[in-house]
Structure 1
Amino acid sequence: MTEPQRIKGRGAASNREGRFESTTRLAEDDGWASAEAEPTPRPATTVREERARSIISRNDSPDVPFAQSINPYRGCEHGCIYCFARPSHSYLNLSPGLDFETRLFAKGNAAELLRRELARPGYRCAPINLGANTAPYQPIERRWRLTRQVLEVLAECRHPCTIVTKNALVERDLDLLAPMARERLVQVFVSVGSLDNRLASRLEPRASAPHRRIEAIRALNAAGVPCGVLVAPVIPALNDRDLERVLEAAAAAGARVAGYTLLRLPHELKGLFREWLEVHVPQRAAHVISLVRQLHGGRDYDPDFAVRMRGQGPLAALIRRRFEVAARRLGYARTRELALDASRFRAPAADAGPQLALFD
């Protein structure tokens, strides 16, 4: 059987079957391989447009600080191997591995649906998060501009939103974000798990480099857009050593709020992450998994809302204490969320045909 190999520019090394698949595919070495064999080919990114039926997702999870979110894309080209959204590709009969980062879906009618949902008589305004599941500013956003279109609708309606991203492309939309910030309608968080470029290029191969994300934090805050930092995910024996350094760099760039989360390995992500460890850091693989299990009560992952983000046990307590001490020393605010103003919301006009538009 052939061993998984690193594919440059991609996080996953294979296309493992999803948990709903009834068949399993296994690669075999037929004996014809040689030292001069060509390296593993790089799979190309494909994007298919889909017509979504709804655009606002809602949750009541007690450990999630927002009740509404929008994901303009399915799948994510950033290719972060630790992404907890990878298992969602199984619902599309695709692999959470390479398929998740190469076979993408763009909700071309996102802005249209958003306008329609905000115009409903029963709609109650509450901050909408962009980036809850898949990245709103992944590379394909440069061409599709769906996140930009969603922001235009939110700005027009004076609807508050929060953004989580690990791509400096967010700077492109400063012309929308800065006016929204003046009305307390937006807060941005940039995710930075490590300042090690070499490690980041393997963990999250198509996201912006760590130093570029820090510059994005600086640019947003300089423009008056409140931008904090998320040290996420913290992975013991891999990037946890950078916790304080990330907080220091972000504070120097103007961040005044910060948060962190620990690595989560739901469903198929367990196998994918183990495979990544064996390809990139085989000498540390067993140790990393051992520490991850210590954070989750002896399991690869504990889905309990009370512990899934922060873990449990002595190691989790140590990481939490390190974060608290560094945040206090650097002057970060105690609360992670800014009080956004939902009172300015004005519903968009419902579709009433071209005749009533004459009276606008």
Structure 2
Amino acid sequence: MKAADFKGRGTGHQPGNKYEKASLVQEHIEGIDLPEYEENPPTKFINVNTKSALSVNDSPDLPLNYSVNPYQGCEHGCIYCYARNSHQNWGYDSGLGFETNILVKTDLPTQLKKQFEKKNYQPQTIMLSGNTDCYQPAESKYKLTRKILETCLEYRHPVSVITKNSLIERDTDILKALSERNLVHVYFSINHLDNKLKLLLEPRTAVAQKKIELIRKFSELGIPSGIMVAPIIPGINTEAIPQIIQLAAEAGARKVGYTVVRLNGQVKELFRNWMEEHFPDRTDKVMHQIEALHGGKANDTEWGRRIKGEGVLAKSISDLVQLSIRKYLPKESKMPSLDFSQFKGNGQLKFF
């Protein structure tokens, strides 16, 4: 099925789960062999428990070691999302199943408090989120991200938030309280300025203009904000890089980062199907350029290269980003250092 058949979804495809021995197939489309989905399926929210609130990142090319992921699966529907593959671990597919089966870790705030209270816990900046967006639509109902921020404020624990959703505006009060204690950084992921492209590439995310407005609002309130131009997809959104950085800098962004797209696992198949549906005239060219960034293959697990790419094309992207930063971002602009000295964990809270 095509994504166009499912309004607000990034894909209509359901690749088989590689961990399942059996899968549904459609060999004969007849009255007794109906598609699993004949119309846009509703989103299902599945409550799950977690043993640990913190996920440990051991990759040397990621700046933060700890991440908190209140949700698995994501309604945003970003076709390139690397987290799609991990949804197979839960028994779902990485395509439409990833967008319509959202696991909600309802006990995560409680588990986070328990970890903060451990005697041997050493505070490090927590990233919200390292996998799927902590402000995806589910957050409006479950408010787990808000509870996590409240916990960080209570324990005076530094946190770095990244999102593509304007729902973060709801938590301005907590973010401001954290910023007054040098306990928070906020990043917005912006990789395009074309709202028509957004509907295809990231269907249920906020438009770029809204995220720029929030950078301005947060900056005026003293909440340090930056952007990630991510992912950069050659032949799709590369030309927007300078203007994205310019608009973000003018709004008060203090830092700019970027990543290039990589298509690991089943994401390669999903992305190619997406290209053939929406940009058939440039499918092969874009796929070849992505492979050129990653040593000749779209599936890249090599540290360093998987994030920034390598080769002539990667250098041209890097040069464009750095030139735009030098041109539009003030030289003195930087994120303030986060303060770890205020942490009240390890059993200390009971004294306050």
Please list the CA deviations of residues 29-52 of structure 1 after superposition, one character each: whole Å capped at 9, or x if unmatched. 6378xxxxxx95111111011111
CA contact (8 A) 1:13 1:276 kept: no
1:118 corresponds to which letter in structure 2?
F
Aligned to 1:169: 167
CA RMSD of aligned residues (A): 2.0
2:304 corresponds to which letter in structure 1?
A
Gaps of at least 5 residues in structure 1 are 33-38, 352-356
Aligned to 1:80: 78
Aligned to 1:282: 280
Cα 1:290/1:334, change in 2 over 3 Å:
farther
Aligned to 1:66: 64
Cα 1:291/1:266, change in 2 over 3 Å:
same
Residue of structure 2 aligned with 1:242, choices 240, 243, 254? 240
TM-score using structure 1 length: 0.91
Structure 2 counterparts to residues 1-360 of structure 1, below 5 A: 4-6=2-4, 7-28=6-27, 30=29, 41-331=39-329, 338-347=336-345, 349=347
CA contact (8 A) 2:2 2:11 kept: no
How far apart are the structure 1 equivalents of 2:78 and 2:133? 10
- CA offset at residue 174 of structure 1? 1.0
Taking only the aligned residue pairs, the percentage that are identical comes to 38
Aligned to 1:36: none
Of 211-220 and 91-100, more deviation after overlay is shown by 211-220
- CA offset at residue 13 of structure 1? 1.8
Gaps of at least 5 residues in structure 2 are 32-36
How far apart are the structure 2 equivalents of 1:334 and 1:232? 24
Please list the CA deviations of residues 266-322 of structure 1 after superposition, one character each: whole Å capped at 9, or x if unmatched. 111111111111111111111110110111111112211121000011000000000
Runs of 4+ in 1 over 6 A off after TM superposition: none
Cα 1:337/1:221, change in 2 over 3 Å:
closer
Q: Quick check: which one's helix share is greater?
A: 2
How far apart are the structure 1 equivalents of 2:146 and 2:310? 39
How far apart are the structure 2 equivalents of 1:332 and 1:106? 40
2:308 corresponds to which letter in structure 1?
R
How far apart are the structure 2 equivalents of 1:326 and 1:245? 8
Paired residue total: 346
TM-score using structure 2 length: 0.93
2:186 corresponds to which letter in structure 1?
V
Cα 1:335/1:53, change in 2 over 3 Å:
farther
1:21 corresponds to which letter in structure 2?
E
Cα 1:52/1:332, change in 2 over 3 Å:
farther
SS of residue matched to 1:283: helix
1:159 corresponds to which letter in structure 2?
H
How far apart are the structure 2 equivalents of 1:348 and 1:49? 29
Cα 1:9/1:157, change in 2 over 3 Å:
same
CA contact (8 A) 2:123 2:157 kept: yes
SS of residue matched to 2:259: strand
